[in-house]
Structure 1
Amino acid sequence: SSHSITHNTKSCNTPASATVSLQQPLSPQTWPAILLTYNPGQGTVAANQGNNRAFSDAKDQAKLLANLDVPAQKRLRKGKLKANVTVEHQGGNNWKIVKIDAV
């Protein structure tokens, strides 16, 4: 009977990642092919999906732009860049942009 007890213990183990995802079911998400808006004054990027609005943090700007090639950065500044945007939920309809992948 000791074998069955050992077996049961192993099958009951819940991976730690399951606990984390339960706490933040909305975060992070990837919004596909979203048109981005660049605010040069604040150095931030904004994206909308339905009623949800996502903004970048000005201090993350260099890191976000480093992921884009030069043509993509130029399109972003003209407000013509479509990208897959990874966002984290901040509460309500507000999200924070954590990654930009030009499409």
Structure 2
Amino acid sequence: MNTLIIYDSTGTILSSPITGGYIKPTGELHYLEVEITEGKVVTRVDTTKMPHVPVYEDIPKTELEKLQEQVENLTQANAELTSIVAMGNTNA
């Protein structure tokens, strides 16, 4: 997804589809048009490099995603325990 990011001299993002609030800029305003890959978000812009470089991070998991992962892990652990108990009963 192509998006326009407006940022100040410190690399703080002032305007993008991600930010919702207002931040007073420090120094000059700059912009970048960047491609944001799925599952990533631009958190700031590294202004120490020329040309300036966006800094990407993974989008944090939602509570629902965390719970789904926990259910999958518990289901797998339960299956393993059931298998261990079933093997124990056949050896007795």
Name the TM-score, length of structure 2 as normaliser.
0.25
Name the TM-score, length of structure 1 as normaliser.
0.23
Q: Give the structure with higher Rg (CA).
A: 2
